[in-house]
Structure 1
C-alpha cells in the first residue's frame, strides 16, 4: 500500500439546502495537495422565475486549521466570469470542512444584478456528480 499523496483529486460540493426555491451552490474543484491550491467552477442557482444562475471559474487555496482536539480544512476561493469588458469577479467563498473533506459550513457571496448577495452559515456536503465525475470533465466544464 502506498502512502503517496495524489497529484490532484476531485472534490464536488453542495452548499446550502436542497429545497425547492432555495438558493444553492455547487462547486467542482480540482484539489492539488502539493501546493494546497484548488481550481474549478462554481454554480449558484435558484429555481424561480426568472431563474438565478451565476457560474464562475474559481481558484483559491486551502489550509488545515487544527486545535488540540480536531482539525478542519479552510478553503478560500474567488470566482470570475468573462464578459465583453474582460474578467469580472462575481463569486467568493470561505468553506470550513471536517478533516475528511465530507461536510462543513460555508459563507459565500455572489454578484447578482450588480449587487453582492451574501449567504452565511450554509451547510456543505461532498456529493457525487454524474456530470463531473473525473478531472477531465472538470477541465472541460471550467473552460466553457
Structure 2
C-alpha cells in the first residue's frame, strides 16, 4: 500500500500492526478490523516472547477509534483496546463461565496508521498481575 493510499483509509479496512522493542522483549502482533464510520475496532492480539516457557497470550480485542489533536505537530489516531482470552465453548454447553480480561492497550498512531506507540498490558494468569509494556509499533 502506498503512502497516498494509506492517508485515505476510511470505511472498513484491515490493519495489521506489530510492536518492537529491545531484542528479547515481548512483541504484540495485532490483526484488527477498523470501521471508521462508527469508530469501532475489533480483532486479535498475540503477545509473544522467546523465553522458557514461551510467552503466548492470545486475546480477542474490541475497542474504539478516536481522532485527537496533540501538543506538537499534527494530529494522531488513538485506539483503545480491551481483550479477553479466546475460548472455544461447545454450543450445547450453556452460557459458559465469566472470563476475566487479560489484555488492555492504547495505541497512538500517525494519521496514515503506519507507525506510532503502543502501551499494552497483559497477564498470563487470569487473576495474576498485569505486565506493562510500551513500545514503538508499525504496520506489519
TM-score of the superposed pair, with normalisation by structure 2: 0.79
Unaligned stretches of 5+ residues in structure 1: 128-144
Check if 1:111 corresponds to 2:123.
yes
SS of match in other structure, 1:35: coil
Match of 2:93 in 1: none
More strand by share: 1
Query: 1:98-137 to 2 correspondence within 5 Å?
Result: 98-113=110-125, 114-120=128-134, 122-127=135-140
Provide the rounded CA distance (Å) in 2 between the counterparts of 1:49 and 1:25.
Answer: 18
In structure 2, the residue matched to 1:63 is 66
Instruction: State the alpha-carbon separation in 1 of the partners of residues 86 and 73 from structure 2.
Output: 43
Report the RMSD for the aligned CA atoms in angstroms.
2.0
Question: Residues 48, 36 of structure 1: CA spacing in aligned structure 2 closer, same or farther, 3 A cutoff?
Answer: same
Runs of 4+ displaced beyond 2 Å = 4-7, 16-19, 82-88
Taking the aligned partners of 2:36 and 2:47, their CA distance within structure 1 comes to 26
Q: 1:29 maps to what in 2? A: 32
The alignment of Structure 1 onto Structure 2 pairs a total of residues equal to 122
Which residue does the alignment assign to 2:5? none
Residue 133 of structure 1 corresponds to none
Mapped to 1, the partners of 2:77 and 2:9 lie a distance apart of: 16
Q: In structure 2, do the counterparts of structure 1 residues 10 and 124 end up closer, same or farther at CA, with 3 Å as the change threshold?
A: same
Q: Per-residue displacement from partner, 1:48-69 (whole Å, max 9, x unpaired)?
A: 1100000000000011112584
User: Could you say which residue in structure 2 is the equivalent of 1:15?
Assistant: 19
Kept in 1, the 8 Å contact 2:75–2:110? The answer is: yes
Largest Rg, 1 or 2: 2
